[in-house]
Amino acid sequence: MRTIRSVGDQGERSARAPLSTKNVMPTKEPALPTNRAFVVQFRARDEATPVRYDGRVEHLVSGQARHFQSWEELRRFVEEILATEAEKPP
C-alpha cells in the first residue's frame, strides 16, 4: 500500500490506497542495463601536447577502476568487465 497525501485548507491528510498493478512495466532487460555502464575520464591536455588518449575508466556497478594510457587498454578493461558480467546469472 502507498500513502496518498493531500494538502488543503485543513492541513495535510493521509489515506491508504492499494498500489495498482495495471500500469506495471513488464520485467525485461533494459536496452541500456546499468551493469554495462562505465564512466570514462580523459586527462586534460594543453594545445601544445600531442593528442593522447589516457585517463581513468570505472565500472559503475562494481566500482572497479583502472587508469589507461591508450584506446587498447581502455577497450581491454571494458571487455574484461563485460565478459565477467555475462558470466553472472540474471
- pTM here? 0.62
Percent of the chain with pLDDT over 90: 46
State the pLDDT at residue 22: 63
Question: What is the grid cell recorded at 7?
Answer: 494538502
For the chain, residues with pLDDT lower than 70 are 1-26, 90
pLDDT, one tens digit per residue, over 3-24 is 445 455 555 444 565 565 566 6
State the pLDDT at residue 18: 58
State the pLDDT at residue 61: 94
Q: Is 66 in contact with 77 (CB distance < 8 Å)?
A: yes
If phi > 0 it is left, if psi is from -120 to 50 it is alpha, else beta; for residue 47 that is alpha
Centroid of chain to Cα 69 = 24
